Each structure stands twice: as structure tokens, then as C-alpha cells.
């Protein structure tokens, strides 16, 4: 039986940075489910479809073949065979991913891909619905959050470091809008699973969060061994 860790939480809470570190330390595969929704969003944007046009999004989803593979431990997302890793990290794609991920056909397709991945390997998977929907029986579940202001500042610093010019207030507003959409959608909204541990990283370092989650895994496996 493979082992699974589910990390859910709002945009910018640090999920992917933390999940990548834990995957490395434990020798697990890191599955970034947001990247799959982003690849689907890129496909939809390329077709010029409006985020409100559910029918066109469902149709577009039918001809998007999304797969992932690993190169030197890094997840590579393929959209109809094309490596799209370098194209999916923009705000435009992120906003479309948030809007198009409300679509039931999009979710069905990507959830089944994610579940298949977790059947064959030990995984740490991050997203919005991992503990509640994709892996309801995950061995460890974490709901990772932080204040919207803190998340916006982290994103701002990241962009500034990359040399981009940006507006902190606009980033914070985007984060708040994205939280609202992700938490209030009808289909698998973002929420803390009943059996997930809440971690607020507002005043924690990355190392502290990583150690905290590895501690949960250790306690859980020790307990399992004693049973
Ligand atoms: O984590 P991210 O910012 O890369 O995700 C982009 C969007 O994709 C997010 O706003 C909502 C959607 N998403 C989702 O609905 N379910 C997931 N498991 C992961 C992401």
C-alpha cells in the first residue's frame, strides 16, 4: 500500500515550497495538482474561451490530454504532449485556473489522473481538495494557511526578486478574490477536511512548517507500527 500526504490551503500559503522539501526528505513523489489545473487553463486561454462559458470549457476539456512525468525529480506537465511548465506560472493562467476549475468535467478528468498517481507511489500532493476529495483516506492531512496580507507580501517579494514590477495592493486583492472563488464554488470547494491538522504559517519559517509535518508523519507511522 502506498503512503500519501495531502496538503490543502489557499493560494500563496507556501504549499508547493513545503511539499517539495518534504518529498525530497522522505523520498516521496511531489504531485502539484494546481499545475494540472493551470495546464488546462492554458489550453482554454489558447482557445480564446471566456471563463464564464461552461459549455465551451467542457468541450475544450475533452480534447486536452494532460499527463505528468518526472525529470530529475521535478514534475513536468504535458499538454497534448507539449511541456508547458514554463508557460503556466503567470497571473493570467492562475486566474483562469481558478475560474475554470469550478467546471465538473475539468475536475473529474484531473481528479482521476491524480488518484491514479497516488495508487502507484508514495506521494505528497498539494491542492484545494486533496484531503476532502482526491485522497480522502490520506495518511496525513494538513490544511496550510496564512493571513492574506502575509501571502500577498510573499508573492510580491518573489516577483520583485524575479525583476517584475508589481503592485502589492493588487496582488492582495487578487489573492482575496481567488480565495473567495476557491472556497465558495459548488464543486469541491476549498475547505479543511475534518481530520486535517490546521497549520497557520503566518509567523512560521519554511523549516518550522516542514519539521512540523515530518513530525506528524513520524508519529503516524510509529502509531501504525504499534497497532
Ligand atoms: O495552487 P495553484 O495556485 O497553482 O492553483 C491554481 C488554481 O487551480 C486554484 O486557484 C484553484 C485550482 N485548483 C483546484 O481547484 N484544485 C486543486 N486541487 C488545485 C488547484
Residue located nearest, by CA, to atom 2 of ligand 1: 34
- Same domain? 20 vs 129: yes
CB-ligand 1 contact for 4 (6 Å cutoff): no
- pLDDT at site 159: 86
In whole numbers, what is the pLDDT of the chain averaged over residues? 94
- pLDDT at site 226: 67
Closest atom, ligand 1, to C-alpha of 114: 18
- pLDDT at site 227: 60
- Same domain? 22 vs 129: yes
Tell me the percentage of the chain whose pLDDT exceeds 70.
99
Task: Please choose from 117, 127, 174 the residue to mutate so as to test ligand 1's pocket, defined by most ligand atoms within 8 A of CB.
Answer: 127
Q: What angle do CA 48, 78, 47 make, to 5 degrees?
A: 10
Residue located nearest, by CA, to atom 9 of ligand 1: 98
Under the banding of pLDDT at 50, 70 and 90, the label for residue 1 is confident
Closest atom, ligand 1, to C-alpha of 185: 15
CB-ligand 1 contact for 98 (6 Å cutoff): yes
**Structural domain ending residue among the three candidates 121, 143, 163:** 121
Helix, strand, coil % in the chain, rounded to nearest 5: 55, 15, 30
Give the three-state DSSP class for 213: helix
Alpha-carbon 227 to chain mean position: 32
**Structural domain ending residue among the three candidates 73, 102, 121:** 121
Show the domain range for 90.
Answer: 34-121
- Same domain? 8 vs 93: no
Query: Into how many domains does the chain fold?
Result: 2
- Same domain? 113 vs 133: no
CB-ligand 1 contact for 33 (6 Å cutoff): yes
Place of cell 481567488: 178
pTM: 0.94
Helices (H), 124-167: 148-161
- Same domain? 7 vs 61: no
**Structural domain ending residue among the three candidates 101, 121, 141:** 121
Closest atom, ligand 1, to C-alpha of 178: 10
What pLDDT digit, counting tens, does each position of 142-178 carry? Answer: 999 999 999 999 989 988 998 888 899 999 999 999 8
- Same domain? 115 vs 58: yes
> For position 109, which CATH number holds?
3.40.50.300
- Same domain? 219 vs 190: yes
Task: Please choose from 12, 34, 117, 131 the residue to mutate so as to test ligand 1's pocket, defined by most ligand atoms within 8 A of CB.
Answer: 34
Amino acid at each position: 500500500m502506498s503512503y500519501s500526504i495531502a496538503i490543502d490551503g489557499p493560494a500563496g500559503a507556501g504549499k508547493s515550497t513545503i511539499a517539495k522539501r518534504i518529498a525530497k526528505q522522505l523520498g516521496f513523489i511531489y504531485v502539484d495538482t494546481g499545475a494540472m489545473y493551470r495546464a488546462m487553463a492554458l489550453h482554454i486561454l489558447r482557445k480564446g474561451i471566456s471563463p464564464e462559458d461552461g459549455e465551451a470549457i467542457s468541450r475544450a476539456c475533452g480534447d486536452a490530454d494532460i499527463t505528468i512525468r518526472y525529470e530529475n525529480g521535478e514534475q513536468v506537465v504535458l499538454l497534448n504532449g507539449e511541456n508547458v511548465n514554463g508557460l503556466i506560472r503567470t497571473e493570467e493562467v492562475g486566474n483562469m485556473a481558478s475560474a475554470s476549475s469550478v467546471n465538473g468535467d475539468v475536475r473529474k478528468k484531473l481528479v482521476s489522473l491524480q488518484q491514479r498517481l497516488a495508487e502507484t507511489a508514495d506521494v505528497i500532493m498539494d491542492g484545494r481538495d486533496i484531503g476532502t476529495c482526491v485522497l480522502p483516506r490520506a495518511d496525513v492531512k494538513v490544511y496550510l494557511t496564512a493571513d492574506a496580507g502575509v501571502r500577498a507580501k510573499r508573492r510580491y517579494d518573489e516577483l520583485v526578486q524575479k525583476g517584475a514590477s508589481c503592485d502589492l495592493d493588487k496582488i492582495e486583492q487578487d489573492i482575496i478574490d481567488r480565495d473567495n472563488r476557491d472556497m465558495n464554488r459548488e464543486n469541491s470547494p476549498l475547505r479543511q477536511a475534518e481530520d486535517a491538522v490546521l497549520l497557520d504559517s503566518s509567523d512560521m519559517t519554511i523549516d518550522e512548517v516542514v519539521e512540523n509535518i515530518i513530525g506528524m508523519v513520524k508519529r503516524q507511522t510509529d502509531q501504525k507500527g504499534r497497532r
